[in-house]
C-alpha cells in the first residue's frame, strides 16, 4: 500500500512536464492563434466588403482609409489579405488532413503488418515520391480544372507519401514494443491492435511533422496560385494576390508585399511551433 503512495509524487511532476515550455514554440502558437482569429473574424475586422470594386480608388498607397493600400481594381488589400487567409489556411488544413489520413492509415498498416503488405504499400509510396512534388502537383492541377479544390487534391497527392513513410517506420518500431506483444497474448485481433495501440502511439511524430509542414503547404498552394493553377479570381488567396501584385512591385509595392508578408509570417509561425513541439514531445526531454 505504501507503494501506491510513494508513486504519487512523481506522477504530478511528470504530468506537467510535456507541456510546451519552449518560448519560441509558444510565440509560434500565439502567432498562429492571431492569424486564425484575424481570418475567422475577417467579416467583422475587414474595413471593406471583400469584392468591392472601386476603379476610382485603384492602386492607392497605404493610408488611413486603406492601411495596406488598394489593388489594380481598387479593392482594399487589407480586406483581401484577411479574407485570403481563409482560403490559404483552409487549403493547408484540408491538404494536411487528407495527407495524414491517407498516409498514416497506409503507413501504420504497413509498419505493423510488415512482409509483403509493407513492401507493396511502400513501393506505391515510392512511386509517388519519385516525382518532384511541385511538378506532380502542377501536372495534376493542369489536368483537372484549376480551382481551390484542385489545388488541395493536387498538393495532397504529393504530400501523403511522406506521412506514409514516417508512420510506417514509427509503427514498425512500435509494433515490437511489449504492449503490442501483450495485446496479442490477450487475444486482441490484429485490426484492434493497430487501431488502439500502434496508431495512438505513433501519432506524436506525425503531429510534429504536420505543424512543420503547414507552412510548406501554404507556400506550395501559393506557388500553384501564383502559376495560375490554384485559386482563381475573384477568390482572395495569398498566393494569387502575390501573383497579381508582382508586376506592380516597382511602382506599387504594397499590392504584393502585404499578402507576401502574410504568407511569410504564417509559414514561419507554423515552423516555429513544429520545432517547439518536436522538442517538447521528445521522449529524451520528457523522461526526467
Give the integer Cα–Cα distance in Å for 38 and 33. Answer: 8
Min dist CB 160 to other proteins, Å, is: 24
Dihedral, CA atoms, 190, 191, 197, 201, nearest 10 degrees? 120
Half-sphere exposure of 112 (CA within 13 A, CB side): 22
Nearest to 279 by CA among 32, 21, 27: 21
- Contacting other proteins (CB under 8 A), which of 1, 56, 130, 143? 1
Min dist CB 126 to other proteins, Å, is: 26
Min dist CB 273 to other proteins, Å, is: 22
Burial class (CB in 10 A: 0-12, 13-18, 19+), 19: exposed
Which lies closer to other proteins via its Cβ, residue 23 or residue 177? 177
- Contacting other proteins (CB under 8 A), which of 6, 56, 130, 143? 6
The 81-120 contact track toward other proteins, x by CB under 8 A, reads ----------------------------------------
Which lies closer to other proteins via its Cβ, residue 217 or residue 277? 277
196 belongs to the binding site for other proteins (CB under 8 A): yes
Per CB under 8 A, contacts with other proteins among 135-194 are 177-179, 181-189, 192
Find all residues with CB under 8 Å of 30, minimum gap 6, and list them: none
Would the CA dihedral through 86, 157, 196, 176 be positive or negative?
A: negative
The 200-219 contact track toward other proteins, x by CB under 8 A, reads xx------------------
Which lies closer to other proteins via its Cβ, residue 64 or residue 187? 187
SS (H, E, C) 62-119: CCCCCCCCECCCCCEHHHHHHHHHHHHHHHHHHHHHHHHHHHHHHHHHHHHHCHHHHH
281 belongs to the binding site for other proteins (CB under 8 A): no
130 belongs to the binding site for other proteins (CB under 8 A): no
Question: How many residues interact with other proteins (rule CB under 8 A)?
Answer: 26
Nearest to 261 by CA among 78, 17, 72, 54: 78
Min dist CB 18 to other proteins, Å, is: 10
Site residues for other proteins per CB under 8 A: 1, 3-4, 6-7, 10-11, 14-15, 177-179, 181-189, 192, 196-197, 200-201
Amino acid at each position: 500500500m505504501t507503494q501506491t503512495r510513494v508513486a504519487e509524487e512523481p506522477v504530478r511532476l511528470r504530468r506537467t512536464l510535456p507541456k510546451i515550455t519552449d518560448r519560441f514554440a509558444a510565440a509560434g502558437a500565439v502567432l498562429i492563434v492571431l492569424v486564425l482569429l484575424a481570418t475567422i473574424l475577417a467579416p467583422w475586422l475587414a474595413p471593406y466588403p471583400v469584392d468591392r470594386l472601386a476603379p476610382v480608388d485603384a492602386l492607392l498607397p497605404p493610408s488611413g482609409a486603406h492601411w495596406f493600400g488598394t489593388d489594380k481594381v481598387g479593392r482594399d488589400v487589407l480586406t483581401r489579405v484577411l479574407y485570403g487567409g481563409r482560403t490559404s489556411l483552409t487549403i493547408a488544413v484540408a491538404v494536411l488532413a487528407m495527407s495524414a489520413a491517407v498516409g498514416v492509415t497506409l503507413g501504420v498498416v504497413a509498419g505493423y503488418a510488415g512482409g509483403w503488405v509493407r513492401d507493396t504499400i511502400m513501393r506505391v509510396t515510392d512511386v509517388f515520391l519519385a516525382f518532384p512534388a511541385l511538378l506532380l502537383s502542377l501536372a495534376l492541377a493542369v489536368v483537372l480544372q484549376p480551382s481551390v479544390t484542385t489545388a488541395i487534391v493536387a498538393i495532397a497527392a504529393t504530400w501523403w507519401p511522406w506521412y506514409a513513410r514516417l508512420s510506417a517506420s514509427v509503427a514498425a518500431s512500435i509494433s515490437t514494443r511489449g504492449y503490442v506483444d501483450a495485446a496479442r497474448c490477450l487475444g486482441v485481433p490484429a485490426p484492434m491492435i493497430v487501431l488502439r495501440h500502434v496508431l495512438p502511439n505513433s501519432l506524436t511524430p506525425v503531429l510534429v511533422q504536420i505543424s512543420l509542414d503547414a507552412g510548406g503547404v501554404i507556400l506550395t498552394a501559393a506557388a500553384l496560385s501564383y502559376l495560375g493553377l490554384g485559386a482563381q479570381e475573384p477568390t482572395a488567396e495569398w498566393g494569387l494576390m502575390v501573383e497579381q501584385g508582382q508586376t506592380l512591385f516597382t511602382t506599387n509595392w504594397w499590392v504584393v508585399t502585404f499578402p507576401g508578408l502574410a504568407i511569410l509570417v504564417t509559414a514561419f509561425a507554423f515552423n516555429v511551433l513544429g520545432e517547439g513541439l518536436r522538442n517538447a514531445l521528445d521522449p529524451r526531454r520528457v523522461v526526467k
